[in-house]
Amino acid sequence: MSGERARRIEGALKVTGRAEYAGEVRPDGMLHAALVQAEITCGDVVGIDDSAARHTPGFVDQVSYDDARSLAPSTATALIREPVVHFPGQPVGLTAADTLLAARTAAARVRVDYVERPSVAAIDQALDEAYAPAMAGRIIGASHRGDPAVALTGAHLVVRNRYQTAVNNHHPMEPHVVVCWWEGEQVVVHTSTQAVYGTRAIIAHALAMPADDVRVVCRYLGGGFGCKGQLWWPWMLWTLTASKRTGRPIRLELTRAQMFTLVGRRQETVQDLAVGFDATGRLVAIEHDVLAQTSTHGEYCDTTAEVSRRLYACPNVRTLHRLVRTNEPQPIPMRAPGTAPGTFALESALDEAAEQLGIDPVELRVRNFADHDHDADVPWSSNSLLQCYQVAADRFGWAQRPASATVVDGRWRIGWGMATTCYPAHRQPCRVRVRLQPDGTIVVQCGTQDMGSGTYTVLAQMVADALGVPLSQVTVELGDTLLPEGPFSGGSQVTASMFPAARQATDALRAQLAELGMGHDETLADAVQRIAPDGIEAEGAATANADIDVRCMSFGAIFTEVGVDADLAEIRVRRVTAAFATGRVLNPLLTESQHIGGLIGGIGMTLLEQTVTDRSSGRIIGDNLADYLVPVHADMPEFDIALIDEDDTYLPGGVKGVGMLGTAGIQAAIANAIHHATGTRVRHLPIRIEDLLHELPATTPGALPSMSE
């Protein structure tokens, strides 16, 4: 069993600047690319005149729709093959030049003629066109069990409210970048991606090339959070097209402003939720209707109502997801997709119910614990949620919770709140190669990538533990499609996917050594010198979870204390105590770090982050990190993280993902604590000062403050 608090093995490389990120690759003769962006909101491109651009000193090439017609049709090529503008700022062409300045100057000189069409710039401008998608993420979009309408009619208490969450953007520190060049019929692509193999597949398909002729490399990522995936592919493919035609390496890096429009967003939600209880506080019915935004060129729906289907025991549940197409950027998953907005609604509603029922919020959740997945009617692979409540409540001191709106600390009104979090524990197919070198050291290879979360380190730990060698003897190679195929980094799946494959590889290596006559007391270093002087290697492969006869999920309980300034209504999260049950914990240090990072993202979503759109043009207002606020160190509370080790015998290796858990639940925990501090219930995110100052004009979602600067 692992469990060492090992630090990131690549940490020193990163902090000393020796870790080479994709954007730092600088091949000889490299050109720089810039995007030409649409100035209209919706319409057709009817003409592109680059004659002025071509006179820019240093100009080399310009590509647009005509140059991408030969690419295979797919969702990755639609926006670069079809001259249709779906949202403002959509790229309509790409320039390549000797310098970045020349590329941008040339891009500004490309003249584009449009035929505009009427646009929809916000979901409330086309409510009558809302439709129910077949799927929400990887689940069916609508669900129904029992008879919730009748059950709500007969319920002792019904809490029925509308909850709203804002558009968020991912904003990893490292922007999207590609540096690519052609070697004959083969292409080498260095890009910041959460999926080197997925990127390779899309390039091979678009350019009708054998996959082996495409090499995608991403050794280090400066964060992803869900945006370093498919929505970037069209612009990357234009770059590859230009590189092929010019015969020169080309680099395209997105600007921070482009990171607001071209790589996805967390979709806004309007959630109508009704929860019904009997007199003892047991849930009798849930109705959860979600309305969300998607684009006019793609369909994406978060699994927002999934938590209402299975987090608690409830006989009567109806959920529905609906989408409205707008001329805004396309949403995609963002850390804790679905569960972040979904738990905000459900866990706020439970807090409202607890107060009205006169039942402690933790006790109410314990009474409604689901001993199996009521939605699919299958057992959990493991579920330690009750233990999470108990451990976190004890460490937080929840038993001493005072009455609402009674505690003052200087200028601060103090409130306590809690909420549940959960996320599905998925796995993907994965291959891992382990090589014992002639000098006795170990090289491990996997074609996945490390988003910064610690993938290098946990894979090294898995192999070091299995082979009984020190961590320092293990070198890990990731982020290259020349390595055995590994999973994409998303949905908290990589560690759980690697574990069984790594174990199979180390088992196979040991079996080979045994067959070659490795002595019982012999070290690996001695054995390899004696019986396999050229070194020896083995591969392991694991498949995805079947996930049919059992439901695999991670759970957690989050408790928080907030202070609300009595006069200024500034909101400060003062401390967070959380307990998470995620199967076997391979590295407590990195796991805590993941949870804290997740919680920080959730605090940002709750109190600060909001992408604001102009309601007439659909353009993003304040597309920079001065106006789009994320939390800074001075906004951070004390974190106390408890890790609940679980023995999950169903999952191979017993490992569940950890990355998403902290970014859900925290929103409702904070909103519930604010209510406890002030008596004011805020049912939209982000929660702002204006929401808590009643004598001043309140902010209402959809009617945003004027943007004069």
Partner 1 sequence: MTVVTATSLDEALDALAGDPSAQLLAGGTDFMVEVSFAHRRPASIVTLRRVDELKGWWRDGDTLVLGAGMTYTELQAEPFLDVVPGLAQAARTVGSPQIRNAGTIGGNIATGSPAGDTLPVLVALDAVIVLQSAADGERRVPWNEFFLGPKRTARRGDELVTAVRVPVVHGRQEYLKVGTRNAMVISVAGVALVMDDDAHTVRVGLGSVGPVPLRAPAAEAFADSTIDWATMTIPDGGAAQFGALVSAAASPIDDQRSTAAYRRHAVGVCARRALQRCLS
What residues make contact with partner 1 under the rule CB under 8 A? 411, 567-568, 570, 572, 608, 612, 621-622, 624, 626-627, 629, 631-635, 689-690, 693, 696-697, 705-709
By C-beta, is 387 or 699 nearer to partner 1?
699
Q: Count CA within 13 A, CB hemisphere, residue 566.
A: 10
CB of 222 to partner 1, least distance (A): 18
Extended strands (E) in 374-451: 407-409, 412-424, 430-436, 442-446
Q: Confirm if 449 and 481 have CB atoms less than 8 A apart.
A: no
CB of 570 to partner 1, least distance (A): 7
Q: Confirm if 327 and 42 have CB atoms less than 8 A apart.
A: yes
By C-beta, is 218 or 608 nearer to partner 1?
608
Dig out the tokens for 399 from the structure: 């038993």
Q: Considering Cα of 71, then 72, then 78, then 84, what sign does the dihedral take?
A: positive
By C-beta, is 280 or 706 nearer to partner 1?
706
CB of 612 to partner 1, least distance (A): 8
Q: Confirm if 117 and 646 have CB atoms less than 8 A apart.
A: no
By C-beta, is 127 or 707 nearer to partner 1?
707
Torsion angle of C-alpha atoms 203, 204, 208, 210, degrees rounded to 10: 160
Specify the residue for token string 């609300």: 564
CB of 697 to partner 1, least distance (A): 6
CB of 631 to partner 1, least distance (A): 7
User: Exposed, middle or buried, 434 (CB in 10 Å: 0-12/13-18/19+)?
Assistant: buried
Query: How far is 504 from 542, CA to CA, in rounded Å?
Result: 8
Cβ neighbours, 10 Å, residue 686: 21
By C-beta, is 115 or 707 nearer to partner 1?
707
CB of 584 to partner 1, least distance (A): 37
Alpha helix (H) ranges present in 11-54?
A: 11-15, 51-54
Q: Confirm if 423 and 581 have CB atoms less than 8 A apart.
A: no
CB of 660 to partner 1, least distance (A): 24
Q: Which helix (H) or strand (E) holds 109?
A: helix 100-109
By C-beta, is 144 or 256 nearer to partner 1?
256
User: Exposed, middle or buried, 12 (CB in 10 Å: 0-12/13-18/19+)?
Assistant: exposed
Q: Confirm if 558 and 423 have CB atoms less than 8 A apart.
A: no
Instruction: Give the total residue count for the chain.
Output: 709
CB of 696 to partner 1, least distance (A): 5
Cβ neighbours, 10 Å, residue 204: 18
CB of 684 to partner 1, least distance (A): 17
By C-beta, is 167 or 557 nearer to partner 1?
167
By C-beta, is 161 or 617 nearer to partner 1?
617
By C-beta, is 370 or 629 nearer to partner 1?
629
CB of 303 to partner 1, least distance (A): 30
CA distances, 652 to each of 445, 509, 571, 594 (Å)? 20, 19, 43, 22
By C-beta, is 190 or 684 nearer to partner 1?
684
Alpha helix (H) ranges present in 269-338?
A: 306-310
